[in-house]
Amino acid sequence: MQATTSRRVSNRSKMSARDRSNLIKGLLFILPWIIGFIVLAVYPTIYSIYLSFTRYSGFEPPLWLGLGNYTRLFHDDLFWTSLYNTLFYAIIGVPIGIVIALLLAMAMNRPVREISIYRAILYLPSILPIFALSFVTIVLINPQYGLISYLLSLVGAPQIDYLSDPTSAKMVIIALAQLGAGNAALIFLAGMRGIPKALYEAAHLDGAGPMRSFFSITLPLLSPVLLFNLITGVSQALQVFTQSYIITSGGPNNGTLFYMLYLYNNAFKYAQLGYASALAVVLFIIGLAMALILQFVSRRFVNYDLVS
């Protein structure tokens, strides 16, 4: 009896010729992606980890240092400054971006005839190149002839150089980043469109107003989408680079020296690729830790059931 059962299990586990053929064809179809993933993602990651333990300028063979680069990190004031600036950007900018994206999604979800035109207009800033927006921002906030500075002066605001102060310069870059909120807004919109209208109708019959419906129905059922946008936003915030590189070059007084800019400077400006690789590894660990923390905390507020 036992031998018969084992033979049946063995026969079931064997793949037919058709199954093997389909498996081979499927692997051939995804082979370009597998090769690209290994060459462009796996290999660079492993090689960067190796370089993080070496002194490497890109012109000479790597020299093994062990934990020398990581020890240097803890004594590097610019490392801590760049980390502080990046976390400041993430803590302030990501929640603001989530709120703006939610508001945009609610506007895109309005039942009006021209809604497709409004959606295109609201999403349009998200597809504009960030480097072009950075150059335009420099002109717009110029204290002498900038349009934004002029409009602020009409309401009594002083015409000051917002890029001359570390905190205000960071806030300018955070404000510029909100032009990309349309991407998260589309994801929120897709989540809102998936919520059954019957829930809102039942809430309306119970006397719930728009605010109560939002906090009792929309927000709880959007919590998985909210978590996704939070993790994505934090990941993007840890990699902010272009705005600070173009607008301020890390100034004033290293006030916008974000982590990726400092990593870039070490790799391509100072030719310290080994130290830059150590910075990259630490950034990966920080990003992974923040994602895991968000995932752990999300257990308390994320609802994966459509109807609880």
The pLDDT tens digits of the residues spanning 267-304 come to 999 999 999 999 999 999 999 999 899 889 888 888 77
Of 197, 229, 199, nearest to 216 (Cα)? 199
Domain count, the chain: 1
Looking at residue 183, what is its pLDDT?
92
**Is 214 a member of any domain?**
yes
Looking at residue 233, what is its pLDDT?
94
Half-sphere exposure of 271 (CA within 13 A, CB side): 6
**Is 224 a member of any domain?**
yes
**Is 264 a member of any domain?**
yes
**Is 71 a member of any domain?**
no
Looking at residue 307, what is its pLDDT?
43
Quick one: average pLDDT of 121-139?
90
pLDDT at residue 94 greater than cutoff 90? yes
pLDDT at residue 10 greater than cutoff 80? no
Looking at residue 308, what is its pLDDT?
42
Of 187, 248, 221, nearest to 305 (Cα)? 221
pLDDT at residue 9 greater than cutoff 60? no
Task: Give the Cβ contact number of residue 87 at 10 Å.
Answer: 17
Whole-model pTM: value is 0.86
Query: What is the CATH classification number for the domain harbouring 288?
Result: 1.10.3720.10
**Is 122 a member of any domain?**
yes
**Is 106 a member of any domain?**
yes
Q: Which residue's entry shows tokens 């989530």?
A: 98
Amino acid at 181: A
User: Rounded to an integer, what distance in angstroms lies between the CA atom of residue 271 and that of residue 59?
Assistant: 9
**Is 36 a member of any domain?**
no
Quick one: average pLDDT of 74-101?
95
**Cβ proximity of 15 and 23 under 8 Å:** yes
- pLDDT tens profile 198-231: 988 888 888 888 888 888 888 889 999 999 999 9
DSSP 240: -
Q: Which domain holds residue 240?
A: 76-300
**Is 216 a member of any domain?**
yes
Task: Give the Cβ contact number of residue 145 at 10 Å.
Answer: 9
Quick one: average pLDDT of 45-52?
94
